[in-house]
Structure 1
Amino acid sequence: MTPRTTTTTPAWWTAPQPVWLIAGIVAWLLVTAWARPLMAPDEGRYVGVALGMLHSGDWLVPRLDGLPFFHKPPLFYWIGAAAMAVAGPVEWAARLPSVLGASVAAAALYLFLRRWSTVRLALLSTVVLLTTPFFFLGAQFANLDMLVAGCISATVLLGAGAVLAREHEEPWRALLAGAYLLAAAGLLAKGLIGLLLPALVLLAWCAVTRKAVVLRLAVWLPGWAILLAVAGPWFVAMQMKFPEFFDYFVITQHFRRFASSGFNNEHGMWFYLPVLAALTLPWFAWALVPRGRDAAAPRTRFSDIDWLMWIWLAVIVGFFSLPRSKLVGYVLPALPPLACLIAQRVLAGRVLDTLLPKVRVTAVASALVCVACVAGLALYARPPGTLLRLSEGQAVAASDQVLMLDSYLYEIPFYWKLRTPVRIVDDWQAAATDTRDNWRKEISDAARFDPARAAELLLDRTQLAAALCMPRTTWLVGPSNAQLAHPWLARAQLVAFTPAVAAWRFTGSATGDAQCLDLPPATPASAND
């Protein structure tokens, strides 16, 4: 039952303008996107790939340190590279793909509920979603989770809107075409889940609500033509260029990762329930509040919208609870339906005039929590690579090389404004057999697709003299105690230092002396000493 309204209800609550609301969504999500440095490893990794795409001019093949990187498809990198081409390598531009993904999810939720439910529920659901700390921080984080969450959410809502429009004999083809277009974007954002999860949600909704029309729309040929035309060319091009692409991208990164127990971040089936409850406070507290006393009679039958939201929430949480490896951001697509269900609980049986002050307080408190979380991350979550800044007047020249010792700091290319890949010294034979998720495995896997380039960039310790003993300046980055493993660093100039990592400047050898790394023997101590 729709709660009663009175003549004192503000006009913005009953009839907000969609264009201005969507502009406000984007502005709110951008307001703190600049305020903190990139976090390691995810933000540094994905922003580094986007920046490498921009500098190399190769917008087809994603590359991590110059090597083909096929953990994920290219949509995030395309948007990020385009944003940084306009604004430069700054944090808000690097995070723009996530901001856009969140904006798409929030706008789609508002427009869907505005048409198929009430404006009041549409607006409150959108406010709940945008001021939920989990959602806000996801929009401020430069990785692929929020971008694909936006694509999945829009696909579900456009698909459901097409079904309802067809039932009501309204125009539905544009909505369905949009659903297929967003499913294609989801494929390009993070792979098969961009198509699989919306399909599971809509098919389950079809089964529960007995909407056989969903099955007919699922095989709509113009829609599949749109999907294949948008998403297909990149996958075909990668398979033609790299014969191992299908096995690595589809079999390993989708199915083996889903079923394997050898990856990081293993948690139990229950993991996402406390995550959703804790990270959506204070709004989630409304779920524990009884319905208002002004409801005429409790509803005993779910509407189509109710079923859609509950099924959507259950499918996302259930799907990502199955694999042993779990990351918090995986369940971001569950937040739009959860926001709608919370908003329904807030409105249930309550007079709007008495409810508005409580809603304002909750919204303001939640928004302050969002901003406080960003401020906390800016102050305390500072990866070593973001702190390792060169002093005023120091810069890596175009002719210099950068070499990382026994480590790879994803953030260095972004903050040092590097335009070419760095060279990395490590035990690459051991890295090739490592099954753990880490920087060594990522770069070792990427090396398989371009062995010739890898031979230039990936060095072992026996190749250090050849790389450094030349008339060329080398900037070295490594652990702050790297001199224990590399005594020759005593010849280098320390230019930046943190307790975890440090940077040195090594001038090389003007004569190309292959012995330039050798240290003179220590002078024997005299009796007087």
Structure 2
Amino acid sequence: MTERQKSWASLALLWGLLLVLAGLRPLAVPDEGRYGDIGRWMLQSGDWIIPRLDGIPFFHKPPLLHWLNASLMALFGVHTWVVRLGPALHAGLMLVVMYLVLRRLPALPGRDSEHLARRAIWVLGSSLAFLIGGQYVNHDMLVACWIGVAIWAFAMAFLQSSGQAPDLWLARAGFVACGLGVLSKGLIGLVLPGLVLFLWLFQTRQWRKVPRLPWISGVALFSVIAVPWFVLAERRAPGLLAYLFGDQQFNRYTATTFNNGRPWWFYLAGLFLLMFPWTFLVLPQVLTWLRRRSLPGPQGLGPWVSLAWIWLVAIIGFFSVPHSKLIGYALPVMPPLAFLAALGFEQTLAHRPHAGRYFGGLLVVALLVACGVEWAAARYTERRGSADVASALACQMSPGDTVLAAGDFPYDLPFVARLPQAMVVIQDWALQRREAGDNWRRELFEGADFDRQAGQVLQGQDTLVQASRLPGQWLVAPRGFEVKNFDLVLEGRAWVLYRSPTTVAGSGLPSCRR
């Protein structure tokens, strides 16, 4: 087997492991239940413009994830594993693109670039960021992938070109990646590659090449990809652009009233955990940087090492500013961190006796950590989710029955049960509009403002009283929530299923597994 074949075999093995792990746990709530069912609803309704949660418009993010989930479910069916394919495909693309770039870098003395690239494959591919983050159903891996593709493509365009003109096709690929990044999660798909490249071009003094980028064709490609959905969705739901870019992006970045407040060092700890134990290989370079006040890098690799450090510091710095912080926001810096860790090993350990054993030991630790986290996540999710109640509901209700939710919102239930229509959600909605924080209630009533008819599923306590007197009425509520005038059907781990006294077991839904 050639060195290149070994690298491709490594890529296939790690991506295969990711796919296996993706099928071992139920949907996590709220994120995976929410985003999985938005894609299912898109497929079921045939409306590919307006993403909907429980039939209500949901405009927190652009639709690339939902389009991908709906398309994959159309091909392979509505299953938990299928909705994890979208993030997994992007994780695989992130890994492949990193490899293709690193194998073209100048070689270290006495080594070839294929060894460095393959080490980076194993570093990133065995990490929690890849094996767990790469199967988690939300927008983070998608935008991380396209941010990485954009940065690699533009950097290659500048450094692999001859003369003063960047490589035009690589630059166009960068514009395409920015468009897909915007369609994945909004403006950060453009802002973050731009920030990294701006700082890097300044540091490496390559400004004279910038005017020679294919601006006309590049901007045209970006616009064709990124702009149409925003135009069509704004026409269907006036005010969407102000809500998505204003409330959900700018305000979340600048305000302190949103959830997930974390200290300034949150991402430093997150990086250590997401890439454990490989982060230890980066520490010697950090110490060299602090001691010399310059970016360390072997001869020929200097611009690439500079890019990796600027990429890492700029994006982590950007996300450390807001009050709200989530671990998934660190995913865009995993490729440069993997490159730096692989480079650290090549420089400090690769020439020592038993270097392969050292690397293999670190690899075993990384894989054991990932498998342990997968097991713990599965147990935790089972205790919080409503899959047990959803399975019972799917086998007892009839397609025309009504499902009500009170006390909380069971994000995973509509997906697991494959409900054919929206749930009726019981709350004091007038009170919630005055007092609700950054939670599921706000998600629903703000979405209902874009479609009053769809918002009819948001009902008050009177509807629950009326439903208790009607046939074909099912109620799900969290354990500990007081329910009157309904008969108990099943008490699950976290949720309880009830039915009205006049409701009888029906034929079940197509999703029933008896």
Give me the TM-score of the superposition, normalised by structure 2. Answer: 0.89
Query: Percent identity between the aligned chains?
Result: 34
The answer for the alignment partner of 1:487 in structure 2 is 484
Alignment of 1:491-510 (within 5 A): 492=487, 494-498=488-492, 500-506=494-500, 508=502
User: How far off is 1:168 after superposition?
Assistant: 5.8
Equivalent residue runs for 1:116-155 within 5 Å: 116-117=105-106, 118-155=113-150
Displacement after TM superposition at 1:466 (Å): 4.3
Is 2:367 the counterpart of 1:357? no
CA deviation profile, 1:232-288 (whole Å, cap 9, x unmatched): 110001111111111101111111110000001111221111121133211122234
Match of 1:48 among 31, 37, 52: 37
In 2: Cα distance, 1:356 partner to 1:49 partner:
46
Q: What's the counterpart of residue 287 of structure 1?
A: 282
User: Paired residue for 1:321?
Assistant: 320
Q: What is the one-letter code of the residue matched to 1:501?
A: W
Displacement of 1:28: 2.8
Q: Partners in 2 of 1:393 and 1:443 — Cα distance? A: 24
Distance 1:423 1:389, change over 3 A: closer
**Alpha-carbon distance between aligned partners in 2 of 1:232 and 1:146, rounded to the nearest angstrom:** 21
User: Which has the larger displacement, 79-88 or 281-290?
Assistant: 281-290
Q: Pick closer, same or farther for the CA change 1:214–1:188 going to 2, 3 Å.
A: farther
Residue aligned with 1:402, SS: strand
Residues in 2 aligned to 1:241 and 1:159: alpha-carbon distance in whole angstroms: 35
Q: Which residue of structure 1 aligns with residue 431 of structure 2?
A: 430
* 1:460 match: 460
Structure 2 CA distance for aligned equivalents of residues 379 and 481 of structure 1:
21
Q: In 2, distance between residues paired with 1:18 and 1:139?
A: 20
Decide whether aligned partners of structure 1 residues 509 and 29 sit closer, same or farther in structure 2, where only a CA change above 3 A counts. Answer: closer
1:201 is aligned to 196
CA contact under 8 A between 1:473 and 1:507: conserved in structure 2? no
- Provide structure 2 residue ranges, at least 5 long, that are not aligned to the other structure: 107-112, 287-295, 505-514
Shift of residue 101 of structure 1? Answer: 1.7
RMSD between aligned alpha carbons? 2.4
**1:273 — aligned with what?**
268
Moved more, 393-402 or 118-127: 393-402
The answer to whether residue 219 in structure 2 is matched with residue 224 in structure 1 is yes
Summarize the Cα distance change of 1:235–1:481 in structure 2 as closer, same or farther, 3 Å threshold.
same
Question: By how many angstroms is 1:421 displaced?
Answer: 1.1
Amino acid corresponding to residue 97 of structure 2 in structure 1: A
Distance in 1 of aligned mates of 2:458 and 2:321: 37
Cα pair distance change 1:217/1:145, threshold 3 Å: farther
Counterpart CA distance in 2 for 1:449 and 1:401 is 23
After TM superposition, give the deviation of residue 424 of structure 1 in Å. Answer: 0.6
The aligned runs of 1:95-174 (5 Å cut-off) are 95-117=84-106, 118-167=113-162, 172-174=167-169
Q: In 1, are the aligned partners of 2:164 and 2:209 still within 8 Å (CA)? A: no
Query: Does 2:343 correspond to 1:344?
Result: yes
2-structure distance, mates of 1:267, 1:380: 22
Question: Could you give the per-residue CA deviations for residues 188-239 of structure 1, whole angstroms, max 9, x where no partner exists?
Answer: 1100001110111111110000011453256611011001011111000111
Q: Which residue of 1 aligns with 2:46?
A: 57
Q: Residue in 2 aligned with 1:420?
A: 421
Query: Could you say what secondary structure the match of 2:405 adopts?
Result: strand
Structure 1 residues 88 and 213: CA distance shift in structure 2, 3 A: farther
Distance across 2 between alignment mates of 1:361 and 1:481: 47
Partner of 2:239: 244
Q: Does 1:394 align with 2:403?
A: no
3-state DSSP of counterpart to 1:116: coil
Cα distance in structure 1, aligned partners of 2:427 and 2:394? 31
| Equivalent pair of 1:25/1:106 in contact (CA under 8 Å) | no
Unaligned 5+ runs, structure 1: 1-10, 292-297, 511-529
1:487-525 deviations in Å (ceiling 9; x for gaps): 212xx2x22213532011225489xxxxxxxxxxxxxxx
Matched, 1:70 2:59: yes
1:86 corresponds to 2:87 = no
User: Under a length normalisation based on structure 1, what TM-score does the superposition of the two structures give?
Assistant: 0.86
Give me the whole-angstrom Cα distance separating, in 2, the residues matched to 1:469 and 1:70: 36
Q: Deviations 1:79-133 (Å, cap 9, x if unpaired)? A: 1111122222222111112111211211111111111241121111111001112
